[in-house]
Amino acid sequence: MVQLSGIANETIRAEIEEFLERPEEIERNVELFSRASPAMQDIAAALIEGDNETVDRLTVAALADGVHALEIMDDGLIAGMGIVGIKFREGYVFVPEVLVSARAMKAGMAHIEPILAASGVEPIGTVIMGTVQGDLHDIGKNLCIMMLRGGGFTVIDLGVNTSPDEFLAAVKDSEARLIGMSALLTTTMPNMARTVEAFKDAGLREQVRFMVGGAPVTPEFGEEVGSDGYGKDALACVALAKQLALEVRR
């Protein structure tokens, strides 16, 4: 069995020891970071600490050393963000800390994405993301987008105040089958239902899967508006997208 002591980076060891509680998550992360190279562990540690300049520098250095872009993304950036996501879910860190880590992830991804795109690595799926009509809040949506991209999805970001017609047009234009709707306001949540209705009216409901999320949104509300799943946070959003991506592929 892989031991915590097998991880070279002190920050990563401390993070796992202090903040991870679920046995399966401890096991998965110990295994992941034990097999990751010290350079990848350093990238993950810098990302957890929100140090965008170090992530940028280490990513460039790793690429120059011949490390594959996919390895940097999986073992450095996504692995680090995975720890941040768990800490957020458990209430050890809050939105500001996640935003700062997300900024660091973006710094690394800026070097990785063009390489992956050019090498023809196939995405797991394409997700259309938007904050629903009347709602201009986008933090939660942006965090989900960042995690989805890190999780191997292509994301079409429709931004905020997205009307049902805009969601429909995006599906027609892209042939994407996953749609993520976000709302921060209880006053705009009903627009999730309107969007689902618009897809029914257009005869497209059966071809797509809807994910919903946002601070006031609940699993019950998600069910009520006719969505296919609810994600409590960005980590849950990625897990749900992976599950729904399998459904639409069948």
> Which parts of this chain interact with other proteins (CB under 8 A)?
50, 91, 94-97, 99-100, 103, 133-139, 142, 161, 185-191, 215-218, 220-221, 224
The amino acid sitting at 110 is A
| CA atoms within 13 A of residue 67's CA, in its CB half-sphere | 23
Q: In angstroms, what is the minimal distance from the CB of 103 to other proteins? A: 7
CB environment 98-109: b (16+ within 10 A), e (fewer): bebbbebbbbbb
At closest approach, how far in Å is the CB of 52 from other proteins? Answer: 10
Within 10 angstroms of residue 166's Cβ, the number of other Cβ atoms is 17
List CB contacts of 17: < 8 A, sequence separation 6 or more: 4
Least Cβ distance, residue 8 to other proteins (angstroms): 27
Nearer to other proteins, 32 or 107 (CB): 107
- Compute the least distance from the CB of residue 54 to other proteins, in Å: 14
How many whole angstroms separate alpha carbon 214 and alpha carbon 216? Answer: 6
Among candidates 196, 191, 154, which has minimal Cα distance to 175?
A: 154
Closest approach of Cβ 149 to other proteins, in Å?
17
Nearer to other proteins among residue 125 and residue 140 (C-beta): 140
Distance CA(178)–CA(23), nearest Å, equals 31
Token pair 């497209």 is found at 204
The pair of three-digit structure tokens given for residue 200, joined into one six-digit string: 């029914």
Task: Assess contact for 233 and 89: CB atoms under 8 A.
Answer: yes
Could you tell me the smallest distance in angstroms from the CB atom of residue 84 to other proteins?
13
List the one residue out of 126, 133, 128 whose CA is nearest residue 193. Answer: 133
Nearer to other proteins, 96 or 203 (CB): 96
Taking a C-beta distance cutoff of 8 angstroms, is the pair 215, 245 a contact? no
CB of 155 to other proteins, least distance (A): 17
* 11, 13, 49, 92, 207 from 84: Cα distances, Å: 13, 14, 9, 9, 34
Return the number of the residue (141 or 177) whose C-beta is nearest other proteins.
Answer: 141
